[in-house]
Amino acid sequence: MADLATPMSIRVAATLGLVERAGSGATAEQLASETGTATSALRRLLDHLVTIGVFELDPRSGRYRPTQLGVQMSGDAPAGIKPLLDINSAGGRAELAFVDLLQTVTTGAPAYPHRYGRDFWADLDAEPALRRTFDAQMNWRFREQAPQIARRFDWSRFPTIVDVGGGDGPLLVEILRAHPGVRGRVLDLAPAAAAAAERFAATGIGDRASAAAGSFFDPLPAGADAYLLSDVLHDRDDEHARLILAGYRRAAAPEDGTVVVVEPVRGQGVGTAINLFVLVCFGGRERTVEELAELAADCGLVLRGSAQVADGRTALEFGVAPAR
């Protein structure tokens, strides 16, 4: 459990694409030539991957090939874990912030900016390639959950929905597919909004869906029947979570405005590892329903109800608190 050789070997193998490059078998010399690495060093890496059961070696031909375990690291594997292993992707880069876990435990501050010189979101803004890998990772994560969220929550009550921070639109697409009477808009940073518009057109819902550039901290478009906030609050500390919720409160109609927060909820299937990850990477935390309700109450929102809507996701419905 204390050995870093194995997890780092797996990450480097995923980053170099060794599973895809090896195919049915390749020598260390061939793989080194294709990856631009040192043959002798790569051979040591491959030998360790053999030891841990990720690759196997044919001693007669000197060819390495991935095992059934190893093929899970390929980019098209159903397990979809490569983005979390590839050091050049947003997920893999974020995972490496755990190297500075001691700094986080000592100070309480996220390790990501300590390691990389800027926070995670600034990194995505500065590096378009990272942004693309992040959007791809979110699409993979929601490939099963988005249809569940769309079916298990009654979105048909809301003729118009604004999905703030909705990326390139995977969740909104499923909601509109499941509820033909609903129209929606994604509000996210310009690259994600542009990708969302393309997705809406490609999926044939462009007449009911639109996208606009913006952020949580900009004034939100008023007048929507519901505002959706998915997988956002756990990435923020309490101060920034309140700022986001306060913006929703200002946009929501005083009488019947609704804010739907879809989040992993502590105590409802959320593991300790992800709670530690959001601290190390963002300075965020997983919260209980009661803690989320308290945050919202500080911003003038009252919890109407909550229900689990997907594996590891709970929908919390908030209304505007009556004026005193």
The type of residue at 48 is H
Give the C-alpha separation, 123 to 131, whole Å: 8
pLDDT score of 81:
85
Domain ranges of the chain: 5-87, 144-320
pLDDT score of 275:
93
From the options 1.10.3720.10, 1.10.10.10, 2.40.30.10, 2.40.30.20, give the CATH code of 5-87.
1.10.10.10
Catalytic residue among 48, 114, 234, 240: 234
Catalytic-residue membership of 240: no
Low-confidence ranges of the chain (pLDDT < 50): none
CATH architecture of 144-320: 3-Layer(aba) Sandwich (3.40)
The predicted model scores a pTM of: 0.88
pLDDT digits (tens, 9 = 90+) for 208-234: 999 999 988 888 998 899 999 999 999
Q: Do 5-87 and 144-320 agree at the fold level?
A: no
Give the C-alpha separation, 83 to 91, whole Å: 6
pLDDT score of 323:
67
Give the C-alpha separation, 65 to 86, whole Å: 19
- Of 51, 6, 50, nearest to 28 by C-alpha is 50
